[in-house]
Amino acid sequence: MNVPQNITRKIMAAHLKEGELVLGTEIGLAIDQTLVHDATGQMAMLQFEALGFPRTATKRSLIYSDHNILQVTYENADDHAFLASAAKRFGLHYSKTGNGICHQVNLERFAAPGETLLGADSHTTTGGAVGQLAIGAGGLDVAVAMGGRPFFLPMPKVIRLVLTGSLPEWTRPKDLALEILRRLTVSGGRGAILEFDGPGLSSLSVPDRATVANMSIETGAVTAVFPSDERTRAFLKSQNREEDYQPLAADPDAAYDDHLTIDLSTLEPLAAAPPSPDNVAKVSALKGIKVDQVAIGSCTNSTFADMVTVAAILKGHKVHPDVSLIIAPGSKQVLTELANRGALPDMIAAGARMMESACGFCNGVGQAPRTKGVSLRTSNRNFPGRSGTPSAELYLVSPETAAVSALAGAITDPRTFGRPYEVVWPDKFVIDDSMILPPAPPAPPEDLPAIVRGPNIAPLPVFSAPPETIAGPVMLALSDNVTTDDILPAGAHILALRSNIPAISRYIFSNIDSTYPERQKKAGSGFVAAGRNYGQGSSREHAALAPRYLGLSGVVAVSFARIHKANLCNFGILPLELVDPLVLAKLSPGDDLVLKGFSAGLRPGAVLTMENSTAKVKFEVKLDVSRRQLDMLLAGGLLAMEAKKR
């Protein structure tokens, strides 16, 4: 008898290569598409090469140049040349700088219902807007998937989010995303996939759904997935890709692990106040806060609908004299449509500063606010220091709230602005994929293009297996929700070193303790102690790879974010979960920890005894990993394990 299935299980069942779809057990999924960009792709391609794969084995793999676009010195240009040449040689498509943000372009040109997408960026989840199972991961996991191997993760629970009603005037999908964050917090979605359902879906276009799917990762969720319906067909048709459409919906009476219902008609404009995306408040309660900068764009809110609405709000008005308004359309396609409609001159006439179609301000590449400045942003994260200005206060809002506030000079409820602008969606967009360079055709290695390696392309570090007894001091004692931005900050000067682990390692924990890199390297081993949800945020594997290069042996935490935990295992750092969370308060910097008996006889999920030799007490930690991950840890990481096989 056929058991009714939800969307998640349907896609997973069609792509299952290893394991069973049993909650919490490790499964291996076949991957149809992969993406990396110029902040994660350098390591991914070096790792792909080190793994010995001659060419990609996916349906399609892509590299996007969208993060490291500020070419102040040679590093970023070196990286782009490396990525473009690696793409040609190994069979990837390469989207040039200026073509747009990876998630926006991928949604426009490549996302397809029922497929799997693995991306070396946490906001790969955007693809869920069309019914694609789109998951973010570390670059090494993506490199393995590019080679045709399965992607592994614990089978997540599936939370059904039922949407009813429709959004009121001036309340937008960004407000829905923030409401979900308000309810679930930045850790409430851990170990889950958010699957959307309900009559309220019919009022949400694919770009609307993309905003919500994009920000699902901020709850800690694996991803979000929407049905593929007539809204999906209309979007794909506008992209001249109707052949990619297939209907996809949950079966009646499909089972879920949890439920959440949201009546869209009850929502109003919201904002995430500093310092976290889940610090959500009503815009009406924040009105009057003076604004220094407004930044509209990012992979969350840079679609055609977002941009043309902003242009309509700005038309005939002037940006407040005390405000710097910056706008970054998400793709060349969006920018072209704005120009063709005459919306671009409206933005410029109002006093907006137009940025290129790239990530830019979202990941701290340019447009840093002034000291202690207030910046309204349509992006997805407002972690301290992410903007490039540690003292700045970042508020996350919808494009409508951002535009109206830019005119007023203070946070303003858009409902006070009058009638909202109605977006007229084009039947067909102008399609021009000339900035997406195809790979070289398959050929003998000697006939393929050479890889260009400038001085910024450093060799991959090589790590050895851990000793039987692992000992070292507590280097840092941290609290809950430590982000990957805390571990390795964003910003133009640091991002430029993403292909150079020795250089970038000097910035590990630099916003928390600038002495950490030197102390860790001198110690040669050591541990970081932390609370719940350690490693939340981006997929940047450098937040594991660079600490491992410095000598970090393990992280003792109450719990871990999914992607970062996988990255720790990939590079041989032990993710040790405290059996008793109260032990955390008893771990202090400088305490010497000892873990004995780390050997091939260990089993996944083993409870190990650690000794705090300074305090002369013992405590228990759990190594909650799969057999595959344990083998990696015993070998010193995935690359070391693969090297032993050859």
| Ranges of each domain in the chain | 7-266, 270-415, 470-645
Furthest CA-CA distance within the chain: 72
Cα gap 355→327, rounded to integer Å: 6
Beta bridge partners of 153: 27
- 106-116 CB burial, b ≥16 within 10 A, e <16: bbbbbbbbbbb
Count CA atoms within 13 Å of residue 625 on its CB side: 27
Helix (H) or strand (E) holding 620: strand 617-622
Cα gap 256→252, rounded to integer Å: 12
Residues 6 or more apart whose Cβ sits within 8 Å of residue 19:
25, 26, 27, 28, 155
Please give the full DSSP string across 30-73, using - where no structure is assigned.
--SEEEEETTTHHHHHHHHHHTT-SS--SSEEEEE--SS---SS
Q: What is the pLDDT of residue 1?
A: 57
Q: What is the pLDDT of residue 646?
A: 62
Ramachandran quadrant class, 633 (left: phi over 0; alpha: psi -120 to 50; beta: rest): alpha
Query: How many Å separate Cα 55 from the centre of its chain?
Result: 25
Q: What is the pLDDT of residues 419-434, one digit of tens each?
A: 998 888 888 999 999 9
Q: What is the pLDDT of residue 284?
A: 98
Residue with tokens 């039922």, as numbered in its chain: 162
- 261-297 CB burial, b ≥16 within 10 A, e <16: ebebeebbbbbbbeebbbbbeebeebeeeebbbbbbb
Copy the structure tokens of residue 72: 């102040």
For 308-375, the three-class secondary structure string (H helix, E strand, C coil) is HHHHHHHCCCCCCCCCEEEECCCEHHHHHHHHHHCHHHHHHHHCCEECCCCCHHHHCCCCCCCCCCEE
DSSP letter for 431, please. P
Query: Which residues in the chain show pLDDT less than 70?
Result: 1, 646
Residues 6 or more apart whose Cβ sits within 8 Å of residue 282:
268, 269, 270, 271
Statement: 470-645 belongs to CATH 3.20.19.10? yes
Cβ(129)–Cβ(225) under 8 Å? no
Q: How many residues does the chain have?
A: 646
Q: What is the pLDDT of residues 618-646, one digit of tens each?
A: 999 999 999 999 999 999 999 999 887 76
Ramachandran quadrant class, 367 (left: phi over 0; alpha: psi -120 to 50; beta: rest): left
- For residue 17, the tally of other CB atoms under 10 A from its CB is 13
- For residue 609, the tally of other CB atoms under 10 A from its CB is 13
Q: Which CATH superfamily is domain 270-415 in?
A: Aconitase, domain 3 (3.30.499.10)
Cα gap 584→530, rounded to integer Å: 7
3-state secondary structure of 432: coil
Beta bridge partners of 196: 161
Q: Which amino acid is at 521?
A: K
Q: What is the pLDDT of residue 597?
A: 85
Beta bridge partners of 8: none
- For residue 238, the tally of other CB atoms under 10 A from its CB is 18
DSSP letter for 469, please. S
| Cis peptide bond N-terminal to 275, omega within 30 | yes
Q: Which CATH superfamily is domain 7-266 in?
A: Aconitase, domain 3 (3.30.499.10)
Instruction: Indicate if 470-645 has the same CATH topology as 7-266.
Output: no
Cα gap 203→300, rounded to integer Å: 19
Q: Sign of dihedral through CA atoms 475, 476, 482, 487?
A: negative
Cα gap 31→637, rounded to integer Å: 22
Q: What is the pLDDT of residues 261-316, one digit of tens each?
A: 999 999 999 999 999 999 999 999 999 999 999 999 999 999 999 999 999 999 99
Copy the structure tokens of residue 281: 């408040």
